[in-house]
Amino acid sequence: MKRKVTLKQIAKELDVSISTVSKSLKNSPEISEDTRLKVQAFAKLYNYKPNNIALSLKNKKTKTIGIIIPEIVHHFFATVISGIEQVANEQGYNVIVCLSDESFDKEVINLEMLANGSTDGFIMSLSKETQQKKDFHHLQEVINQGMPIVMFDRVANEILADKVIIDDLLAAYQAVNFLIEEGRKKIALITTVDYVSVGKLRTEGYIKALKDHNLPIDENIILKIEDIDNCSDVIEKLIAEQKIDSVFAVNELFAVVAIKEALKKGIKIPEELSVIAFTDGIISKFSTPTITTVSQNGVKMGRKAAEMLIERLEAEDEEEERYRTEVIETNLISRESTQT
């Protein structure tokens, strides 16, 4: 087991100083060609690679981006990470991933953990609990210390920082419009509880679309679901008791459950019931029928977030405090669960 070789060891072995070794490896003109080549040959032989930790300490830069997200077992977040990783990689950065598990406390712990030197900046999406408590002091503290944060998807208006979002309201509006233009009148909404920022915005888009077309807002066909695991009962009830002709769901899961319950009752999709879901993931592509969705393009969000963060990290001029909010466009992917 040959441990990693250091400058000091090379210096000792070749009977020169550490500085000489360092300079030689950096092809400094200060060093004669003789010693330079000698050192380089030796370094190559022993496979010398500079120690990242030492470099980080010296440079006060880790070349590492911290990612904090609610969970990873969720296709959308996975795609965002993928996007972040792509540009991080291109620019010589590494990513260190922490999961808040939708818990405020874990989010705080992770953030503070990584803020003590481990990363140069953060890309994050808030946990549900954080959004509910509206407590963002941990973010503010990190920002005050001079670490840039880029927030995506679940962002906080209260925090001044760069952000990458989609226009949830508009996208929902367009999706519901699509259903209306298809001739649907009784459009059910299956959404989350209101403290989830994106859920709320999508609900607003739904309502706006109905209003703009003079359709009534019927609370009986608006479902706000808290517990995602046991949603099938309430959804089944909705379909059984209300004479709806279409469904707009704020995520794939709600949509696919609705479809399943409808099919059980012999309801034809899309003829009798048209379905659109938010978030274009695996499920929509492969369910039967395939589901028309609003595509969020997580990869693009991730790429954009990483670009913004790195740009800020590498800006010489520290004090340019103009925060940007980038809006990623969505598009409706038409599949079998709708008619037109």
Partner DNA sequence: TTTCAACACGAAAACGTTTTCGGTTAGCCT
Partner DNA sequence: AGGCTAACCGAAAACGTTTTCGTGTTGAAA
Count the site residues for DNA by CB under 7 A: 30
CA distance 98 to 95: 10
**Interface residue with DNA, options 27, 51, 82, 288 (CB under 7 A):** 51
- Packing angle of the helix pair 252-264, 232-241 (nearest 10 deg): 50
Which is closer to DNA, CB of 36 or CB of 300?
36
Of 20, 79, 197, 338, the one binding its own copies (CB under 8 A) is 79
Residue 277 phi/psi, 5-degree rounding, is -120, 155
Q: Is 40 in the site for DNA (CB under 7 A)?
A: no
The distance of closest approach from Cβ of residue 63 to DNA in the complex, given in angstroms and rounded to an integer, is: 13
The answer to whether 239 touches 261, Cβ cutoff 8 Å, is yes
Stretch that binds DNA, among 48-56, 88-96, 187-195, 236-244 (CB under 7 A): 48-56
Binding mask 251-290 for its own copies (x = CB under 8 A): --x--x--xx--x-----------------xxx--xxx--
Candidate list 15, 33, 137, 145; residue touching its own copies; CB under 8 A = 145
Q: Is the dihedral of CA 258, 259, 260, 261 positive or negative?
A: positive
Q: Which of 207, 130, 64 is nearest to 139 (CA)?
A: 130
CB-wise, 211 or 264, nearer to its own copies?
264
Strands 121-124, 222-225: pairing is unpaired
CB of 117 to DNA, least distance (A): 7
Omega of the bond prior to 148 within 30 degrees of 0, cis? no
Contact flag: residue 6 with DNA (CB under 7 A): yes
**Residue 324, binding choice from DNA, its own copies, none, Cβ under 5 to 8 Å by partner class:** none
Sole window of 10-18, 85-93, 210-218, 240-248 interacting with DNA (rule: CB under 7 A): 10-18
Compute CA distances 77 → 134, 227, 296, 325, whole Å: 22, 19, 11, 19
Count residues contacting its own copies (CB under 8 A)? 55
321 contacts DNA (rule: CB under 7 A): no
Q: Which tokens hold the place of 211?
A: 């209003």
